[in-house]
């Protein structure tokens, strides 16, 4: 069965600190896709990244970086030099790639609070 | 490009009533998915429509239904509302096709059942 685990329920950091959000997934498929979404207090989910199971290259986008490790079934997200605007709930999600579907299995989310 | 729009944004209904929520996807997107978000269950997949056909369905009772029109707009309906249906209902659109493209979410409809 597919499952996404975000063990960190809440994280609080002070501005400019680096923070890593953990994501561990379970799937029997060899082809799958992983996603990260941000949900600010306004409620709208904002797409951050999509990664397929065949691409283990790490990715960096500005202050954001993602570390994908198939060996440990993890897809962790790091924010460098955090800012107050980064405060939000962050969700990791998994989608099977074998079939034609956009169904996402979400983790329970990590609430990140960045204090000024 | 305009984003995903959902109407209404807020809704208060009474137990036993029915409700219809609407979602307009990003222009050119053919897939629309619906999710329910509650504090207890988190984000759960309801169903996905692609080219007017339901392509996938989550584990929700038959009271939850949906449809998609030829212009890709989608509606979801919940009949015989229960208190537990109170939630944020999120619609997401994507290009569709045979691979899971990134989905873009709307602002949601906050449904309160009293």
- For the segment A40-60, what is each residue's pLDDT rounded down to a tens digit? 988 889 999 988 888 888 888
| Ramachandran region, residue B42 (left: φ > 0; alpha: ψ -120 to 50; beta: rest) | left
According to the model, what pLDDT value does residue A4 have? 97
CA distance B45 to B75: 15
Q: Is B99 on the interface with A (CB under 8 A)?
A: yes
More confident residue, A53 or A13: A13
> Closest to B103 (Cβ–Cβ): which among A42, A104, A109?
A104
According to the model, what pLDDT value does residue A48 have? 94
3-state secondary structure of A92: strand
pLDDT digits (tens, 9 = 90+) for B3-46: 999 999 999 999 999 999 999 999 999 999 999 999 999 999 99
> Which run of H or E residues covers position B48?
strand B42-50
Q: Is B33 on the interface with A (CB under 8 A)?
A: yes
The total of other beta-carbon atoms located within 10 Å of residue A54's CB is 10
Question: For the ranges A21-25, A29-33, A82-86, B88-92, which has the lowest average pLDDT?
Answer: A29-33
CA distance A99 to A112: 33
User: A70, A68, A101: which is closest to B49 by C-alpha?
Assistant: A101
- Cβ proximity of A114 and A15 under 8 Å: yes
According to the model, what pLDDT value does residue B112 have? 98
According to the model, what pLDDT value does residue A1 have? 78
CA A47 to each of CA A14, A36, B80: distance values in angstroms, whole numbers, following the listed order: 24, 7, 33
The total of other beta-carbon atoms located within 10 Å of residue A53's CB is 17
CA A103 to each of CA A38, A81, A96, B10, B28: distance values in angstroms, whole numbers, following the listed order: 18, 33, 8, 25, 19
pLDDT digits (tens, 9 = 90+) for B43-61: 999 999 999 999 889 999 9
Q: Is B81 on the interface with A (CB under 8 A)?
A: no
Which residue of A lies nearest to B97 if distances are taken between CA atoms? A100
All residues of chain A having their beta carbon less than 8 Å from the beta carbon of residue B56 are 101-103
CA distance A84 to A104: 28
Share of chain A above pLDDT 90, in %: 72
CA distance A40 to A52: 25
Q: What is the mean pLDDT of chain A?
A: 92
Given a cut of 90, whether residue A12 has pLDDT beyond it is yes
According to the model, what pLDDT value does residue A100 have? 67
Share of chain B above pLDDT 70, in %: 96
pLDDT digits (tens, 9 = 90+) for A90-112: 999 998 766 667 889 999 999 99
According to the model, what pLDDT value does residue B95 have? 87
CA distance B39 to B61: 19
Q: What is the mean pLDDT of chain B?
A: 94
> Closest to B107 (Cβ–Cβ): which among A43, A103, A108?
A43
CB spacing of A104 vs B33 below 8 angstroms: yes
């Amino acid at each position: 069965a597919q499952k996404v685990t975000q063990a960190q329920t809440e994280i609080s950091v002070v501005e400019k600190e680096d923070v890593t959000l953990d994501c561990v997934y379970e799937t029997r498929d060899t082809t799958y896709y992983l996603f990260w979404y941000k949900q600010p207090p306004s409620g709208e989910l904002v797409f951050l990244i999509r990664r397929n199971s065949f691409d283990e290259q790490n990715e960096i986008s500005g202050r954001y970086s993602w570390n994908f490790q198939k060996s440990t079934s993890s897809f962790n997200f790091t924010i460098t030099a955090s800012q107050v605007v980064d405060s939000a709930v962050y969700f990791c999600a998994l989608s099977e790639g074998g079939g034609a579907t956009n169904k996402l299995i979400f983790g329970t989310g990590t609430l990140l609070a960045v204090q000024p | 490009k305009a984003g995903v729009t959902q109407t209404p944004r807020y809704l208060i209904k009474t137990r036993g009533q029915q409700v219809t929520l609407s979602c307009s996807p990003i222009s050119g997107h053919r897939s629309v998915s619906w999710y329910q978000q509650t504090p207890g269950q988190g984000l759960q997949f309801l169903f996905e429509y692609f080219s007017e056909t339901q392509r996938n369905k989550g584990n929700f009772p038959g009271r939850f239904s949906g449809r998609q029109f030829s212009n890709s707009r989608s509606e979801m309906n919940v009949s015989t509302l229960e208190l537990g249906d109170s939630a944020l209902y999120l619609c997401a659109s994507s290009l569709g096709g045979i691979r899971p493209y990134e989905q873009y979410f709307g602002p949601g409809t906050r449904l309160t059942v009293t």
